Chains A and B, each alone.
Chain A
Amino acid sequence: MTTPATPPPQAPGQPFQQPQQGLGGPAGTYASPIPVRSPGLGDAIASEWTKIRSVRSTMWTLGVMIVLLLAVGLLSAFAVGASDAELEDTPVLSLGFFGVLLGSICVITLGVLTISSEYGTGMIRTTLTACPSRSRVLIAKSVVFFLLTFSITAVTTGIVGLLQTAMLGGATPGGDDWLRATVGVALYVATLGLLSLAVGALVRHSAGAITLMIAVVLLPLVLAMFMFSPSLADLQQALLEYSIPSQLAAFYDASVTPSGPSGWEPLWIVLGVTAVAMTGAFASLDRRDV
């Protein structure tokens, strides 16, 4: 089959010719009149964008996340403003933390659903028949999901931060504070979603993968709270420092422990974990039967 470098432009609305019978070739050479073009990653990304925007779960999870970020962020600012407490040293932007922690559960859900819903419905077989390259499908899904959640989280946290600083006085946040509380948090949350996507590809079951991811987010902190035995003190300290809520709080300089990751460190940690999980997801998608 010949592959023209650029397909001849098709006039809009003009129907393709129906395949003609008896093209004259020997048996086994049916040639389609539709221009043949080798698809690439760009086509897969366009396809995944169509997929993610055409199901309601995307709208619901992201809509709920935006509402949570705005509502919880503004309510906490209201509560602090009404209490007359002096917040000279408290960074105002840290009030956005509660909304982001709740919103990250929505991102986890969407990340898992992006791939596990294909397994649940059987759509994955249709997808992999249309594109046998597993890596292309997984990369396209990751890119579309990451960019979508990153941009929505960054914009929403930015709006919430602006409203909070307008409502409350307190210490004026610097440029680095702003960057970490918006772009940093958005990168962290979107990467957490990417980790969920990888877990979804490994577990292949929506409810199972979502439960697993929520346990990963919440359990270390809850377990650490009940570790009263002195012999477990080191483990308790590690769990407190490296639990996902603590890492997220580090972006606001509001971590539960003074030690532990700070600044941009949580992002490198979650990126490393996600890279490992993604490698596993690639291997699983490539090796296992669909």
Chain B
Amino acid sequence: MIEAVGLTKRYGAKTAVHNLSFQVRPGAVTGFLGPNGSGKSTTMRMMLGLDRPTSGHVTIGGHAFRSLPNAPRQVGALLDAKAVHGGRSARNHLLCLAQLAGIPAARVDEVLGVVGLQDVAKRRSKGFSLGMGQRLGIAAALLGDPQVLLFDEPVNGLDPEGILWVRNLMKRLASEGRTVFVSSHLMSEMAVTADHLIVIGRGQLLSDMSVKDFISANSADFARVRVSTDRPEGREKLTASLTEAGGRVMPEADGALRVTGLGLPRISDLAHAAEVRLWELSPHQASLEEAYMRMTQAAVDYRSTADAKAGLQPPPGYGAPGLPGHVAPPPPEVPQQGWYAPPPPGQNPYAAPAAPHGPVPAAGTAPAAPADPTTRETSEDPR
């Protein structure tokens, strides 16, 4: 059980975490979500006593981490896979941690086997790929076989097999009655791994509820309707008919319609009554990603912009013949279910039903240079 009460952390004038209170219960995987720079890593560091909260406190099993009896046997953590001395071999890295925690050395070889690094145990971790580094970090977290586990972005850089392994590992650890607290940006992963979600934005708690509740509270299911293209006027006719019946209709980029507020049979009946033939009538359930985007869109600090390459393009007419010239980029398409590309920057399609496109509240902090292709924040550390 992890309990944060009024947790606040300020670095100078910047408030990284503000008045955060939540509980992480045992026996479940709790996902910890938030945009870049929202204070996730800071919160995790405060849990481990690495950063001192400006005010408030966080306890694990009723104790502050630094006063926990036998802390390494109660809490295991993966904060940063690169937080190892690159010159040390994987085995020696784990061995020194095991010795520090009073764990028998035989456990080192065991966790090396668990994460699948036994063949490279003697190699210096400098040469490890990102995925191998993550496995080493997970091994260090599992070393003490602890009751509480914290993972910051555990699937970064892992191959599909590794991602599946981490997913099953998290679930198994939780099913054994442990407290598992995982931060991630991969919504598809969180949707299938986590039971409970804690979402923060700009250091403040946005949501603390189960995944199912979170999705249903933050998004609406919809139906995708595609009208036969041989009779173009059918689309307008159906739109009018659906709107009249109380549904909300939004056109999609490829000509389909997105209908909310009406059940599929009702849409079918209305189409039949309007004598419009349908080529597609499909139910769509909002994904966790869509729900997350809707919730956090106002709290995004670092927003990328289109790479305009302004001033670098040759004047029109000099382009290679035959190639389609500088056509405007296609309008943003609503992502299909199961396809998790991020939305086009600046024009969040999920935002449409809730708020019209306009000045996003975060615009003040967004990078000003539109031609800079690397506006992503390189470090999560708010210092």
Query: Would you call B77 and A21 a contact (CB within 8 A)?
Result: no
A15 x B88 contact (CB < 8 A)? no
A32 and B73 alpha carbons, distance in the complex (Å): 8
The chain B residue sitting closest to A24, CB to CB, is B177
A175 at the interface (CB under 8 A from B): no
Q: Is the CB of A37 within 8 A of B102?
A: yes
Tell me the smallest distance from the CB of A50 to a CB of chain B, in Å: 4
- Cβ-defined contact, A125 with B80, below 8 A: yes
Asked if B209 is at the interface of the complex by the 8 Å CB criterion, the answer is no
User: B283 near A: Cβ within 8 Å?
Assistant: no
Q: Is B117 an interface residue when CB atoms closer than 8 A count as contact?
A: no
The docked-state distance in angstroms from the alpha carbon of A15 to that of B175 is 22
Contact, CB under 8 Å: A50 / B99: yes
Name the prevailing secondary structure of the A interface residues: loop
Q: Which of B92, B101, B104, B177 contacts A50 (CB 8 A)?
A: B92
| Beta-carbon nearest neighbor of B65 in chain A | A132
How far does the alpha carbon of A34 sit from the alpha carbon of B312 in the complex, in Å?
Answer: 63
Would you call A46 and B66 a contact (CB within 8 A)?
A: no
Q: Are B82 and A122 in contact (CB under 8 A)?
A: yes
Q: What are the residues of chain A within 8 A of B179 when measuring CB–CB?
A: 28
| Chain A residue at minimal CB-CB distance from B82 | A122
**Chain A residues closer than 8 Å to B35, beta-carbon distance:** none
Measured between beta carbons, the chain A residues less than 8 angstroms from B70 are: 1, 3, 36, 38-39
> Nearest Cβ distance between residue B88 and chain A, in whole angstroms?
5
Q: Are B83 and A19 in contact (CB under 8 A)?
A: no
Which residues on the B side are within 8 Å of A229 (C-beta)?
Answer: none
Q: Which residues of A are found within 8 Å of B104, using beta-carbon distances?
A: 7, 10, 16, 34-35
- Whether A23 lies near B50 (C-beta < 8 A) is no
User: A27, A129, A287: which contacts B50 (Cβ < 8 A)?
Assistant: A129
Interface size on B, as a range, is 35 or more
Nearest chain B CB to A110's CB is how many angstroms away? 13
Q: B335 at interface (Cβ–Cβ under 8 A)?
A: no
The answer, yes or no, to whether B110 is at the interface (CB within 8 Å) is yes
Bits for B161-178, please: 1 = Cβ < 8 Å to A, else 0. Answer: 000000000001001111
A128 within 8 A of B: yes
Question: Looking at chain A, what size class is its interface with the partner chain?
Answer: 35 or more
Q: Is B380 an interface residue when CB atoms closer than 8 A count as contact?
A: no
Determine if A212 is an interface residue (Cβ-Cβ < 8 Å): no
Give the complex CA separation of A34 and B111 in angstroms. 13
Neighbour of B177 across the interface among A25, A47, A128, CB < 8 A: A25
In the complex the two chains form, is A117's CB within 8 Å of B100's CB? no
B123 CB within 8 Å of chain A = no
Contacting residues, chain A, for B83 (C-beta < 8 A): 121-123, 125-126
Contact of A121 (CB < 8 Å), options: B85, B92, B95? B85
* Cross-chain contact of A125 among B50, B52, B88, B100 (Cβ < 8 A): B50
Chain A residues with Cβ under 8 A from B249's Cβ?
Answer: none
Query: When each residue 79-90 of chain B gets 1 if its CB lies under 8 Å from chain A and 0 otherwise, what string results?
Result: 110111111110
Determine if A47 and B100 form an interchain contact, defined as CB atoms under 8 angstroms apart.
yes
A279 at the interface (CB under 8 A from B): no
A157–chain B nearest beta-carbon distance, Å: 29
A265 at the interface (CB under 8 A from B): no
Cβ of B145: which chain A residues have Cβ within 8 Å of it?
19, 32-34
Complexed CA–CA distance, A15 and B121 (Å): 17
Q: Is the CB of B177 within 8 A of A28?
A: yes
Q: In the complex, A174 Cα to B96 Cα: how many Å?
A: 44
Q: Report B47 CB to chain A, min CB distance, Å.
A: 10
Assembly CA distance A222 to B151 (angstroms): 52
Please indicate the chain B residues that have their CB under 8 angstroms from the CB of A139 in the complex. Answer: none
Taking CB atoms, residues of chain B closer than 8 Å to A21 are: 172, 175-176
**Which B11-37 residues have C-beta < 8 A from chain A?**
25-27
Contact for A29 among B106, B143, B177, CB less than 8 A: B177
Closest A residue to B137 by CB, please name it: A126
Contacting pair B103 A34 (CB below 8 A):
yes
Contact residues, A130-176 vs B (CB, 8 A) = 130-133, 137
Contact partner of B110 among A15, A47, A57, A123, CB < 8 A?
A15
Partner of A129, one of B48, B73, B88, B176: B48
Least Cβ distance of A225 to chain B in Å? Answer: 39
Partner of A38, one of B27, B69, B80: B69
Known A28-B27, A125-B50, A126-B140: A54·B92 in contact at CB below 8 Å: yes
Q: Is there contact, CB below 8 Å, between A132 and B176?
A: no
With the chains together, A15 CA to B114 CA distance in Å?
12
The 0/1 profile, CB within 8 Å of B marked 1, for residues 46-68 of chain A is 11101100111100000000000
Query: Residue of B at shortest CB range from A38?
Result: B70
Contact of B73 among A1, A50, A128 (CB under 8 A): A1
Q: Complex: how many Å from CA A10 to CA B104?
A: 9
Complex CA–CA separation, A212 to B229 (angstroms): 77
Among A29, A128, A129, max chain B CB count under 10 A is at A129
Known contacts: A28-B26, A32-B145. The answer to whether A289 contacts B50 by CB under 8 A is yes
Known pairs A36-B73, A125-B80, A129-B71; list 20 more (Cβ under 8 Å): A27-B177, A30-B26, A30-B177, A30-B178, A32-B146, A34-B107, A34-B145, A35-B104, A43-B100, A51-B96, A117-B85, A121-B85, A122-B83, A125-B50, A126-B79, A126-B84, A128-B48, A130-B144, A131-B71, A289-B45
10 nearest CB pairs, A to B: A39-B102, A122-B83, A32-B145, A47-B100, A47-B99, A28-B26, A54-B92, A50-B96, A289-B51, A30-B177
- Give B contacts to A, CB under 8 Å: 1, 25-27, 45, 48-52, 65-75, 77, 79-80, 82-89, 92, 95-97, 99-104, 106-107, 110, 140, 143-147, 172, 175-179
Q: List 18 A-B contacts (CB under 8 A).
A: A1-B70, A23-B177, A28-B26, A30-B26, A33-B145, A34-B104, A43-B99, A43-B101, A44-B100, A47-B99, A55-B85, A56-B87, A122-B82, A125-B50, A126-B97, A130-B71, A130-B144, A290-B50
